Chains A and B, each alone.
Chain A
Amino acid sequence: MFTRNPQSWREMGLSDEEYARIVALMGREPTDTELGMFAVMWSEHCGYKFSRPVLRLFKKYREALEGAGFENAGIVPLDDQLGIAMKVESHNHPSAVEPHQGAATGVGGIIRDIFTMGARPIAILDSLRFGPLSESRNRYLIEHVVEGISSYGNCIGVPTVAGEIYFHPCYSGNPLVNAMAVGLVPLSRIIPARADVPGSAVMYVGSSTGRDGIHGATFASETLGEDQQEKRPNVQIGDPFMEKLLIEATLEAIETGAILGMQDMGAAGLTCTTCEPTSKSGTGVEIDVALVPTREPNMTPYEIMLSESQERMLLYVQAGREEEVAQVFRKWGLNAVVIGRVTSDGLVRVRHRGEIVAEIPAHYLTKECPTYSLQAEEPAYLREVQQLTIDELPQPCDWNEVLLQLLRSPSIASKRWVYEQYDWLVGAQTVLPPGKADAAVLRLRNSEKGIALKIDGNARYCYLHPYRGAQLTVAEAARNVACTGAMPRAITDCLNFGNPQRPEIFYQFEQCVRGIADASEFFETPVISGNVSFYNESERGAIYPTPTIGMLGILERVEDCIGAGFPEAGLAVLLVAPLQNDDPLMGLGGSEYLAVVHGLERGTPPALDLHAEKSLHRFLVQAARQRLIRSAHDISEGGFAVALAECALIEGIGARVQLPLHPHGFSAWQATPPPSEGSRHDALLFGESPTRVILSAEPALVSALQQLAAAYRLACHALGYTGGDKIVIRVGDAPLIELPLARCQKAYEEAITL
């Protein structure tokens, strides 16, 4: 029926039905170049053909799809002059195959997403997940992923200010590398990814085009197989020096006012940057690929249109002002070549030395990308792993040893080995650096305000209960930002899942998106941008569902910001928590304690009280603003005991506290705690009930703080004092934990060194 061999489109990831659809749309069989262009644009990575129906659950996304447009959707206004742009993106598959370049180009790509809007990049964050450090391949991966991020981010002069790293066997063979970038843009200078004006010039700037990364988007849209090493040529090679020049030149060129639209060449390169803006604007474009600067002679139009060479941008420049813009790029030693013009016929027409090699209506590549409503089915494992009878769990006898064991657990332990390889201070705006607070805080030049940034995920929770786990992830990210005194304001998310064509994976995806959407609407932190990464599977199976949440918070006055560590001796130590907690598992379900000490990944994560959580954020912002607190640290993996140890370790100030006996991990402790016979010390010390924060405050301010907490319908308990060189936790009259800080520090600091 078709003259083309079916193998040719199947190898590019298109199904037979999709090929038939292309032929039907075009009224003929596509040329080789056209077929390549369809294949990348209709990949899940570019076309969101499986995820789009679910992503509509995000309010902003729905509004953008329904007409508001995506142009300014990714920007949060800071005041009436400045806005914050942010986005996160995965580079999982490239990093699995070539960790240094995979991670480096992940950073490069997300940075370009930011300055393509006209924003100056001011921060990088990264969320990394690897298999256990006991396997040498995983040690190799982490070492080179960190080196890749460090070499790229440091060189371009954008500080890497925060992140997270977790270890779990499900990531062996398929690590996760999610990079997030944040930028600052004058609201009057936002550059859209549009090509509105027929006649305007299509200008290619930046690195020349090579054969690297061809079909990278297709590679991202399939499962890694045993042939993964053969995919190394699919991985792009980054040049951070070129990127640095491109940032400066682009921002300088915007000042001319002659740039009407702009899009960076990431996935699907020149194909995407020509068809997307023209499709959005209802215009067309005609380019000649023979004009594109190339690294090698004799590159075919197919290769030029599909190359994912890094550090390239496509500009739409006002007719007649091309030279003005090109001069800026030449000053920085970069290519700047007009390769075509915007037209009004709705077509993407690609010529090669004049001869037409592709001619496709732009919207066929974008809006006509098929979307699929995949089937979701509750995975069989869920019911089984949610079963947990905690009464059958033996309690350890040496609590000191348990605390040390948790501090040594790589997912909890200090990430100093990692973040000291990142330049977190370049730009001289980092007020709260990595390791000092629950989120990074940056001041902003020419503004009193500050921003707080964090990226968080909790894959175990999402594995055990996708909906609840995703909600808890959003809550933790928001809480982390609030602990610095910043009001949580917006989210960018990276949705890492297995193969969505498997109904149980699609169920995880849908439930997680629902959880994020519900929590973000409740917290008034809209999802403003994001990325979907499917097919995260290796021969060992799919990864745990791992949505990561990048959170932006805003501080009205940056000097009000609060760190996580006890700053000095003699302060009161307090715990803020909801008034009620009905979790039958007392926060032990899916906890790090359960995994590390009992080798169990079971139970349901605690339910989230959205109202109490949102109240807690507002309470923290007020407490910081009114200067009632000196530090704030949220309780997450490892529970109260680990959180207290972390508060103490940051500045080396010990603490002595007393907890009341209570079956519910004392989060429900009222003014007079009811004693309980059957209470579990492990739940008290290591339970991970959410919505709880450890504070320190001047003793004279404790009652004011308690009044403020009461106004927000939160409990606020004074537990003891800071000081000394030990961590002492008593429960009732029993001293459960008494450890010298030095021992905790050794466990905490020495777990991750390679």
Chain B
Amino acid sequence: MKAAVVVFPGSNCDRDAYYALRDVLGYEVDYVWHAEPRLNGYDLVVLPGGFSYGDYLRPGAIARFAPIMDAVRAFAERGGRVIGICNGFQILCEAGLLPGALTRNIGLKFICKHVYLRVENDETPFTRLFRKGEVLRIPIAHGDGRYVCDEVTMHQLEVRGQIVFRYCAPDGTLSEAWNPNGSMQAIAGVANATFNVLGLMPHPERACEAILGSKDGRRILQLSG
């Protein structure tokens, strides 16, 4: 497996993703600078978390114009697998590679803590190692993670199974008390219509080793087949 971790000015989870992919999963990994126009020879492209361009204007709003994004779009159109984590998810939404938008958390504060996620679709390339309904414990760390979209989009997401993860209680039930940022339908992660692009607010790269309190993130980054 060969993975690329894209580095924007202000990315700050690039190193964490790099080490998780290289040291835990044993992939070959390259950092790819935002100004690069090409992405060749990769099995996976990761847009890491952080504050690209200082979150100026809106999280992800400037990063979407970086030269590398044309390459990411082309890579995705060829069927390549792309994961956007946290700020990476925001960038994918801003770039139109994923539907919807991520807005200010409902409590208006940054939140960093472990949350519980329910796997809603276990047939995507990112979730084949899970079973539907399985509950994962993975940390979040964001100020702008409230997922919103229009009704038509929401209907499509549900019908096509593009909702991949939802925030839930430890037993897997859904309730507003366990939805940390007020996301519509408790959405924590969505895929595109062809399921090769995934965006999620929680940080799987921070949950790959027992010493950090959870290994549940490993299987999201571990691509089968």
Contacts and interface: CB of A to CB of B under 8 A. Distances in A.
Given A423-B110, A428-B20, A240 B12 contact: no
Contacts of B113: 420
A702 to B, nearest CB: 27
Contacts of B15: 427
A155 B10 contact: yes
Given A157-B50, A431-B212, A445-B19, A426 B110 contact: no
B53 A428 contact: no
B125 to A, nearest CB: 24
A425 interface: yes
Contacts of B19: 428, 445
A420 B13 CA distance: 18
A323 interface: no
Contact of A443 (B13, B55, B211): B211
A422 B139 CA distance: 13
Contacts of B20: 428
A245 interface: yes
A421 B12 contact: no
B141 interface: yes
A241 B51 contact: yes
Contacts of A244: 9-10, 12, 51, 54
Q: Which of B54, B56, B110, B208 has most chain A Cβ within 10 Å?
A: B110
A558 B143 CA distance: 31
A245 B10 contact: yes
A344 to B, nearest CB: 39
A333 B206 CA distance: 29
B110 A428 contact: no
Contact of B13 (A426, A430, A433): A426
Interface in B29-80: 49-51, 53-56
Contacts of B139: 425
Interface string A222-257: 000000000000000001111011000000000000
B2 interface: no
Contact of A156 (B12, B205, B212, B213): B12
Interface in A421-442: 421-428, 430-431, 433
Interface in A41-73: none
A155 B51 contact: yes
A486 B165 CA distance: 39
B211 A332 contact: no
A300 B139 CA distance: 50
Contacts of A147: 109
A333 B54 contact: no
Given A333-B9, A428-B212, A420 B51 contact: no
Main SS at interface, chain B: mixed
Q: Which of A154, A419, A426, A433 has most chain B Cβ within 10 Å?
A: A426
B111 A421 contact: yes
Given A421-B109, A421-B112, A558-B211, A427 B16 contact: yes
A246 to B, nearest CB: 11
A484 interface: no
A244 B212 CA distance: 24
Contacts of A559: 211
A160 to B, nearest CB: 9
A245 to B, nearest CB: 6
A36 to B, nearest CB: 32
B55 A155 contact: yes
Nearest to B209: A428
Name the interface size band of chain A. Answer: 20 to 34
A150 interface: yes
Q: Which of A150, A240, A332, A423 has most chain B Cβ within 10 Å?
A: A423
B54 A420 contact: no
A239 B141 CA distance: 20
Contact of A430 (B51, B143, B208, B212): B212
Contacts of A419: 112
B10 A425 contact: no
Q: Which of A155, A422, A445 has most chain B Cβ within 10 Å?
A: A155
Interface in B1-22: 9-10, 12-13, 15-16, 19-20
Nearest to B50: A157
A427 B15 CA distance: 7
B12 A428 contact: no
Contacts of B55: 155, 241
B110 A150 contact: yes
Contact of B112 (A151, A420, A428): A420
A379 B46 CA distance: 62
Contacts of B49: 426
Nearest to A248: B9
Contacts of A150: 109-110
A428 B15 CA distance: 9
Contacts of A157: 12-13, 50-51
B205 A422 contact: no
B108 to A, nearest CB: 10
A241 B53 contact: yes
Interface string A164-186: 00000000000000000000000
A431 B211 contact: yes
Given A156-B12, A245-B10, A332-B9, A426 B56 contact: no
A445 B110 CA distance: 27
A244 B13 CA distance: 12
Contacts of A433: 213
Interface in B79-110: 109-110
Contact of A420 (B9, B111, B205, B213): B111
A242 to B, nearest CB: 8
A161 B212 CA distance: 13
B16 A426 contact: yes
Interface in A12-37: none
Interface in A309-362: 332-333
Contact of A241 (B56, B110, B213): B56
B10 A241 contact: yes
Interface string B195-214: 00000000101101101110
Nearest to A434: B112
A151 B55 CA distance: 11
Nearest to A428: B16
A445 B50 CA distance: 20
Contacts of B109: 147, 150, 420-421
A443 B49 CA distance: 21
6 contacts: A150-B109, A151-B110, A155-B54, A244-B54, A419-B112, A421-B112
Interface of A: 147, 150-151, 154-157, 239-242, 244-245, 332-333, 419-428, 430-431, 433, 443, 445, 558-559
Given A423-B112, A426-B49, A427-B16, 16 more contacts: A154-B112, A155-B10, A241-B51, A244-B51, A245-B9, A333-B9, A419-B112, A420-B113, A425-B203, A426-B12, A427-B15, A428-B19, A428-B20, A430-B212, A433-B213, A445-B19
Ranked 7 nearest A-B pairs via Cβ: A157-B12, A241-B54, A428-B16, A155-B51, A423-B141, A423-B112, A421-B110
